[in-house]
Amino acid sequence: MTDLADLRLTPQRMAVLEVLRAADDHPTAAEVYERVRRTSPRIGSATVYRTLSLLVSTGRALELNLGDGAAARYDANTCRHDHAVCDGCGRAVDLDHPVPDGMMAEIARRSGFAITGYDLQFRGMCPDCQANSSDPARAAGGTGPTVNTHAKGALHAEA
Amino acid sequence: MTDLADLRLTPQRMAVLEVLRAADDHPTAAEVYERVRRTSPRIGSATVYRTLSLLVSTGRALELNLGDGAAARYDANTCRHDHAVCDGCGRAVDLDHPVPDGMMAEIARRSGFAITGYDLQFRGMCPDCQANSSDPARAAGGTGPTVNTHAKGALHAEA
DNA sequence: AGTGATACTGAGATTCGTTCTCAACCAGTG
DNA sequence: CACTGGTTGAGAACGAATCTCAGTATCACT
Ligand SMILES: [Zn+2]
Ligand SMILES: [Zn+2]
Ligand SMILES: [Zn+2]
Ligand SMILES: [Zn+2]
């Protein structure tokens, strides 16, 4: 990967990068901020946001938009990978799955696009939340996330 | 609170649904609001947001989170389909392509998740923006024309 | 008609994530 | 030492989306 030579390695940036590298989950910027403050209490949130986008734009981190409209998440695992997102607890686990190369070529051919990449997330229930599906209490460590209402109804006109 | 079995087809909801059905792009809530106001000037944005999520939760529209951190987009085409998003102009075109069923089963098996669905967006340059790529107005994304996974540019002092 | 129950609306306030502004703060260079 | 340019941090500002709540519309039953 790109080396850090072209970056000014300030203590704040170092702290952010270390927090991100130590994270096994996929923390949001706010979570990174919170963790960085434990070792660098004087850091400002603007610096964390700035550093995260710097890391992303230089290929040292990935920004994940898991599609639920929530905050962006950051991933120090820069190898191309996709995620499975739990509708219950919001956890996102890494997927190391084979991507059919022919599929992207086919899409490019049929759409006329010059495809440069793709984002793919699976959604479902993680094993923990499947076990606790009848229990309204949160799974271990779960940050009360997305209440997914899949109720169906019918619009009926009376006029 | 609201029992979805008791839904009324009010003029406001009618107007939102018609705007969405008439849209060939994938408008954001703000764009839907703007268009609805042309025929229903008294409508409030809260009603538009409420109606859109109502349409989504009752299966009459899809909410798209195209992953660039921008606003959600809405789609009256409720058939399962994916999108190709242009890094140049932001346009999102529908893709009608088959995703191998075996892939989802494999993901489910390996992750332990109970997979209920997936979100997939391709990114790249649409034909129009490819033609105008000689114009150095803006080339925010990677300029690589071939299949390249999330090419990251060198760090440039971001404005 | 009237009455009450319930759903819906719209204006504004509020929340949340993120970016911007700007004075102060280093780190180099001469 | 002063100069210069990148960096920081506090708070303001921003855009998207939701919430609050009083007022309105529509229903069921008389
Ligand atoms: Zn879960
Ligand atoms: Zn990951
Ligand atoms: Zn384009
Ligand atoms: Zn579509």
pLDDT digits (tens, 9 = 90+) for B28-76: 999 999 999 999 999 999 999 999 999 999 999 999 999 888 899 999 9
Residue where one domain finishes, among candidates B56, B78, B100: B78
- Same domain for B102 and B113? yes
- Same domain for A65 and A24? yes
- Same domain for B35 and B84? no
Q: How far is the CA of B8 from the C1' of C3 (A)?
A: 22
- Same domain for B46 and B101? no
**Residue ranges making up the domain that contains B40:** 8-78
Task: Tell me the average pLDDT of chain A.
Answer: 83
- Taking only the tens place, the pLDDT of each residue in B84-109 is 999 988 999 999 877 777 888 888 88
A86 is in an annotated binding site: yes
Q: What are the angstrom distances between the C-alpha of B136 and each of A118, B18, B88, B139, B140?
A: 24, 39, 11, 7, 10
Displacement of CA B57 from its chain's centroid (Å): 16
Residue where one domain finishes, among candidates A31, A60, A78: A78
Say if residues B64 and B75 touch (Cβ distance below 8 Å): yes
Q: Is residue A151 part of a domain?
A: no
CATH number, position B97: 3.30.1490.190
Site from A87, A120, A126 to mutate, B interface, most B CB atoms within 10 angstroms:
A120
Q: Is residue A108 part of a domain?
A: yes
A79 is in an annotated binding site: no
Q: Is residue B158 part of a domain?
A: no
Say if residues A86 and A129 touch (Cβ distance below 8 Å): yes
- Same domain for B31 and B60? yes
Chain B partners within 8 Å of A133 (Cβ): none
The 10 Å CB-count burial string (b at 16+, else e) for B82-96 is: bbbbbbbeeebbebe
Inter-chain residue contact A121 with B121, CB threshold 8 Å: no
B82 is in an annotated binding site: yes
pLDDT at B7: 79
- Same domain for B52 and B104? no
What is the average per-residue pLDDT within B126-149? Answer: 57
Chain B partners within 8 Å of A132 (Cβ): none
How far does chain A reach from its first CA to its final CA, in angstroms? 65
pLDDT at B72: 96
d(CA A117, CA A38): 36
- Same domain for A88 and A60? no
Task: Tell me the average pLDDT of chain B.
Answer: 82
- Same domain for B67 and B84? no
What is the average per-residue pLDDT within A8-37? Answer: 96
Q: Is residue B39 part of a domain?
A: yes
d(CA A55, CA A10): 13
- Same domain for B110 and B57? no
Could you tell me what percent of chain B has a pLDDT over 70?
Answer: 79
What is the average per-residue pLDDT within A44-61? Answer: 96
pLDDT at A96: 82
Q: Is the CB of B151 under 7 A from strand D?
A: no
A135 — pLDDT class (breaks 50, 70, 90): low
Question: Angle at Cα B9 formed by Cα B79 and Cα B39, nearest 5°?
Answer: 90
Which of the pair, A158 or B92, is modelled with greater confidence? Answer: B92
Q: How far is the CA of B157 from the C1' of D6 (A)?
A: 10
Question: In 10 A of CB B152, how many CB atoms?
Answer: 17
- Same domain for B33 and B91? no
Q: Is the CB of A53 under 7 A from strand D?
A: no
Residue where one domain finishes, among candidates A48, A78, A108: A78
- Same domain for B68 and B84? no
To the nearest whole Å, the CA of A98 is away from the closest chain B CA by: 9
Reported pTM: 0.82
pLDDT at B4: 47
The phi, psi pair for B23, rounded to 5°, reads -80, 135
Q: What is the largest CA-CA distance in chain B?
A: 55
Number of domains in chain A: 2
Size of interface A-B (CB pairs under 8 A): 174
